[in-house]
Structure 1
Amino acid sequence: TPAAGLEGELLYVGAGGEADYADKDARGKIVLAELSYSPPRPEKTRIATANGAIGLILVNWGDDDNPSVPQGTVKPVWGNPTVDNLHLMPNLPAVGIPRLHGVPLRELCKQGTVRARIVSDADRLWKTLHQPHAHLGAGLGNHFLLLADHMDSWGGGATDNTSGNAVTLEVARVLADHKSELRRDIQVAFWQAHENGIMEGSTWFVDHYWDEIDQGQIGYINIDSPGMKHATRYEATLSPEFWTMHEEVMPAALGYVTAPKRLEKTGDQSFFGVGVPAISGRMEFSKELLERWHGAILGPWYQSVDDTMEVADKEVLAQDIRISTAYAWTLATRPVLPYDFRPNARILRETLAGYAKVADDTLGLAATIDLAKTFEQKAAAVYDRATALQRRFETGAAGGAQDDEAEAVNDAMRQISRTVIPVLGSVVGRYGQDTYGLSALKRWIPALAQVDQLAGKDPLSGDHQLWWGKLVRERNRVTDAVRTLNDLAAAIAE
């Protein structure tokens, strides 16, 4: 802002998502929004800018008397900007305030016109950062599992993410002690510029090591904010091909199981485009506590100076370590990769069918749906063959032709992941990075999320043609991908 600050009328917009601006005029106003991941701060900023706001105030979560001041970035661009997306860099002044102060402001907005002045100062510059990256040197081929977490923090950083650094180091130590038993190598990275830049470190890693990742990476375990005080149950978000593995591994590691959840493109999930299946989980708070804390999934102390050792819990952290080690051990030692594409195939078919109901017939989704139905059948056959092959190893058979068969099946399944993940989870596709928290990413096959724009429009009208030209190309991309999935699956199942 200018040195004297920026003044304007204050407009309360709830969570600050696209729907929250309905029937509201934010032009020339400072908007007041709740801190949350629905949507995350960068998407709140993008949406506020698109609606003509001149400033953004974010009210911290937690109890209504929470005095913690939230820090953090509001940059939508994922990774370093390029000449193509530099225009998306934010120019909207944004500040965070304690909930203790934000709730009274919100109530004043409900009573009538409120004016506010914000004063903010921020840097935008290029820096060279040092990012630790190690190879364990296990296994015989070029296949590897990546363990990673971010090493930078706002505020105190005890649970975000010093505790994550501890989990990664401990899991790596255990795997190193059993290096000779691993079939695949382990790589470890500590991401830079996760917080103050938005995923520059992990994005640079994907861009820089693309060939190695594409040809050899079999999974990614991202560890962020484990060991939080008051957390009671482990919850995992995973790529769908890992859901079955999760339901097998978690009971053995923790003595109970929670339903797997959809992995969203948030903290350092920079591998959606290249198509690497991933896991991100942590011990989480009870539903009752989250309701009291207004959705503070990372604690009222999140990204503030109050994130100190007093809000970390060693017993909780031990559970995060156990399950993370169990995931890593399974992925690094199983002769046949524990992928199950039946959930992916079901999601693909159901999502396409749902889109077909709200679009019109001009896109030709019926043919895509037929291909998806075929893939669903073939995905079941792939699972059956992979499971049978794994059981042969478990009964003692190994070596020679069986090892070669497992390698061929694993390579083909890895190619299925490379194809299906960007279709189910990305708008920009294989070689780009979607902006942080992009609203369309809340839906599967997000490139087709706007098919409802065709409904009710005259197919010969300009409005219909504008949307059809965009959406039919996405339909073609998805259709080609599903056709490739069928070819890959058939090669395994036959």
Structure 2
Amino acid sequence: MNTVSADISAEVSGEAMMANLTQIARWVKLSGTAEELEGLRFVESRMAAYGWRTGIVMHDAYISLPGAARVLVDGVPVKAITQSFSLPSPRDGFSAVPVYLGHGTVEDFAGKDLRGALLLLEGMATPAVARRATEAGAAAQLHISHHEHIHEMCISPVWGNPSAATRRDLPRTVVCSVAHRDGAAIRDALADGKRPIVTLHAAVDTGWRKTPILVCDLDGPGGATDPLVLLSGHHDTWYHGVMDNGAANVAMLEVARIVAQRRSDWRRGMRVCFWSGHSHGRYSSSAWYADEHWDELDRRCVAHVNVDSLGGIGATVLTNTKSTAELRRLAAEAVQRHAGQALKGVRRGRNSDESFVGIGIPSVFGSISAQPHQHQQARNALGWWWHTPDDLIDKIDEANLVRDTRVLLDGCWALLSESVLPLDHGATADSLAAELNQLAPSLAGRFDLAPLVAGAARLRELADAVDARRHTAPAASLAVANAALMRASRALVPMDCAEGERFTHPDALPLAAWAPLQPMRSLAASAPGSEDEKFVAVDAVRARNRLAHALREAEAALDDARNALGA
């Protein structure tokens, strides 16, 4: 930790953040609306007052704003909402006896003819279930909330704006959700052999509209071409969205205020972005920004610090905040320092405006704190009020907000001020080695993993050598060493977090660790000597070549970093 940062956390002001949050809480910030832009102008005024260079960029985004919903069970209305990216219902609604399909897993869908069906499903609406329903030819989905509150959800699996190639992957079903009591009554009636007629009326406004991004910059000591740290979070909300994401926005403002006062200690610049289209466009703004600024971000961005839904009442668990492997150590140190908790090292998921891992930019944080009891199917670790009209300022605990902001500030300050970038590529090597070790027994004598195992071992060795030199590095070599560490990230992060693809965005669906290993996993699952094994082996060889090339690029980069840092 930089010596200057020993007391920097004390500068976090809960009073200042709550004052800003009281202002932000005034607006309902649906993507692309005048009210969203008005709220963003307030945030911009604060950033300008803190000395940042600001500008609002307007861009085209494919946004889906749910309208009114009406669900009737045998003609009796029950409380319901429409989900973002639902199809609008026919004029007279869609009526059918539902088909109960549990939680909508792959196994729940398997072997069933669901063409034209209305599916009754447990839990919140998700992109994965919406895709299965669309592929099965279902006409509609009705989701049963796990409790009396109904959560707004975006069900599109397409990351960012749909392209000519991906627009076909948008959901093609009518989707509503109801509270648990009402949905359970339908489920129980079906179980008793009854045939309730359920009618879905769903309005939705889906299409292209202009949405804003607030971009704020302060240059590093070398000027506008210096490497930079990207701090970002979404500004759009469901309803007033005071925790999600107003609290994160005021934490970003507070970090920006504090670090701007210590610019003499910066080693690199910083950019702070407030996105639209997170809630209603499946991360449309951050994906658009990654695409439009790909070259600059590739050359200059050392890390992405993401922040979402901080400071909730009862949010006492900080062990599950996420990061890419390279920044897990940084996250663990920040959480231990300010919360006294040991980080578990949860993988970075496909969510939360993580639009930059494909470029090869390491990422840290997101939701820093969570509730102590998480319902596994409901995924409501952020509180029962998440994505509901009850996400108001009374759901914020000022002490928790200060704690979370100190964690955020700690990570940002390390990235801004440490002479050698705090990127731990040894952790990345260990992550890959663990995956290879799981595969090895099933592939023994069938497929040679040795090139990848050896590459991961060399990567670990080189990363250790870099670590041993990071605190004694000569000043003249720092730029070369840091550029080499960034090159290593560009080779490795897409392999771990983006299917190895640097120029497009994987869908907003669960992604296995080191996804390019999937053909090898399929080979391990195939029957030895079978025809299937021979087909899969073709893909496995190509995947091995792809990973081996990435490891070779990363090794060369770390070797350059080691040499630049000296003996």
TM over 0.5: yes
| Counterparts of 1:140 and 1:341, CA distance in 2 | 26
Corresponding residue of 1:302: 386
**Is contact 1:232–1:284 with CA below 8 Å preserved after alignment?**
yes
Q: Is residue 2:561 matched to residue 1:492?
A: yes
How far the C-alpha of 1:360 sits from its partner, in A, is: 7.9
Contact 1:146/1:219 (8 A) holds in 2? yes
1:116 to 180, 193, 198: 198
Q: Determine if contact 1:70/1:98 at 8 Å carries over to the other structure.
A: no
Higher strand fraction (1 or 2): 2
Counterpart check, 1:151 vs 2:235: yes
Shift in Å at residue 385 of structure 1?
Answer: 2.7
8 Å CA contact retained: 1:10, 1:32? yes
SS at match of 1:306: coil
- 1:465 Cα deviation after fit: 5.3
In the alignment, which residue of structure 1 is the partner of 2:369? 283
- 5 Å-filtered alignment, 1:124-273, equals 124-140=206-222, 142-235=226-319, 236-273=321-358
Deviation at 1:12, TM superposition (A): 3.5
Q: Structure 1 residues 353 and 292, CA, compared in 2 at 3 Å: closer, same or farther?
A: closer
Q: SS at 2:202's partner residue?
A: coil
Alpha-carbon offset, residue 20 of structure 1: 4.1
Query: Which structure 2 segments of 5+ residues have no match?
Result: 1-88
Task: State whether structure 2 residue 553 is matched by structure 1 residue 478.
Answer: no
**1:56 is paired with a residue of what secondary structure?**
strand
Residue-by-residue CA offset, 1:325-363 (whole Å, 9 max, x unaligned) = 111111101111111112210111221232344458665
Determine if contact 2:500/2:515 at 8 Å carries over to the other structure.
Answer: no
> Deviations for 1:286-316, whole angstroms, at most 9, x for unmatched residues?
13xx249954122222212222222222222
For residues 169 and 376 of structure 2, the distance between their equivalents in structure 1, rounded to whole angstroms, comes to: 35
Following TM superposition, by how much is the alpha carbon of 1:249 offset from its aligned partner in structure 2, in angstroms?
2.7
Q: Which residue of 2 aligns with 1:345?
A: 429
Is 1:413 the counterpart of 2:485? The answer is yes
Alignment of 1:422-441 (within 5 A): 422-427=494-499, 429-437=501-509, 439=510, 441=511
Spell out the pairing of 1:5-16 with structure 2 (5 A cutoff).
5-16=93-104
Q: What are the Cα deviations for residues 417-452 of structure 1, in whole angstroms up to 9, with x where unaligned?
A: 111111111226111101112x3x0x2111333544
DSSP-derived class of the 1:259 partner = coil
Partner Cα distance (1:356, 1:73) in 2: 39
User: 2:145 touches 2:179 (CA, 8 Å); kept in 1?
Assistant: yes
Q: State the SS of the aligned residue for 1:125.
A: strand
- Separation in 2, partners of 1:172, 1:404: 29
Residue of structure 2 in register with 1:3 after alignment: 91
Kept in 2: contact 1:70–1:97 (CA 8 A): no
Task: Give SS of 1:162's match.
Answer: helix
Give me the whole-angstrom Cα distance separating, in 2, the residues matched to 1:116 and 1:480. Answer: 55
SS of residue in 2 equivalent to 1:429: coil
Aligned counterpart, 2:83: none
Match in the other structure for 1:399? none
Q: Quote the Cα distance in structure 1 between the aligned partners of 2:337 and 2:536.
A: 49
Task: Give the Cα separation in 2 of the matches to 1:89 and 1:217.
Answer: 31
TM-superposed CA distance for 1:137, in Å, is 2.5
Give TM-score, length-normalised by structure 2: 0.77
> Could you tell me how far 1:47 is from its partner in structure 2?
2.1
Q: Give the secondary-structure state (helix, strand or coil) at the position aligned to 1:219.
A: strand
Q: Deviations over 1:201-242 (max 9, x none)?
A: 001111111111111111111111112122113242111111
Change (3 A) 1:195 1:24: same
Amino acid at match of 2:309: S
For residues 30 and 117 of structure 1, what CA distance do their matches in structure 2 show?
A: 9
AA aligned to 1:173 is R
1:483 counterpart letter in structure 2: R
Aligned CA distance change for structure 1 residues 487 and 88 (closer, same or farther; 3 Å): same
Change (3 A) 1:328 1:31: same
Q: Which residue of 1 aligns with 2:72?
A: none
Tell me the amino acid that sits aligned with residue 481 of structure 1. Answer: A
* Structure-2 change in CA distance of 1:112 and 1:139 (3 Å): farther
What amino acid maps onto 1:5 in structure 2? G
Question: Is 1:97 aligned to residue 169 of structure 2?
Answer: no
Task: Give 1:143 shift.
Answer: 0.8
**Of residues 158, 166, 172 in structure 2, which corresponds to 1:85?**
166
Paired residues of 1:31 and 1:55 also in contact (CA < 8 A):
yes
Q: Normalization by structure 1: what TM-score?
A: 0.87
CA change 1:445–1:83 in 2 (3 A) is same
Q: Conserved in 2, the CA contact under 8 Å of 1:265 and 1:272?
A: no
Q: How many residue pairs align between the two structures?
A: 469
| Shift in Å, 1:175 | 1.1
Mean CA deviation greater in 326-335 or 468-477: 468-477
The answer for unaligned runs of 5 or more in structure 1 is 394-401
Work out the CA distance in 2 between the residues paired with 1:53 and 1:448: 32
SS in 2 for 1:186: strand
2:476 match: 404
Note the C-alpha offset of 1:480: 1.2
2:38 match: none
**What secondary structure is seen at the aligned counterpart in 2 of 1:233?**
coil
Post-superposition CA distance 1:345-402 (Å, at most 9, x none): 011122123234445866543332332233233332232233xxx2x37xxxxxxxx2
- 1:432 corresponds to which letter in structure 2? T
User: Does the 8 A contact of 1:132 with 1:190 survive in 2?
Assistant: yes
Q: Distance in 2 between matches of 1:317 and 1:260?
A: 22
Give yes or no for contact 1:358–1:451 (8 Å, CA) kept in 2: no
Distance 1:477 1:111, change over 3 A: farther
Matches of 2:377 and 2:103, distance apart in 1:
14
CA RMSD of superposed structures (Å): 2.5
**Counterpart amino acid of residue 503 in structure 2:** Y
User: Helix, strand or coil: the match of 1:58?
Assistant: strand
Q: Which of 149, 152, 157 is the equivalent residue of 1:71? A: 152
Aligned to 1:374: 458
Q: Output the amino acid matched with 1:15.
A: H
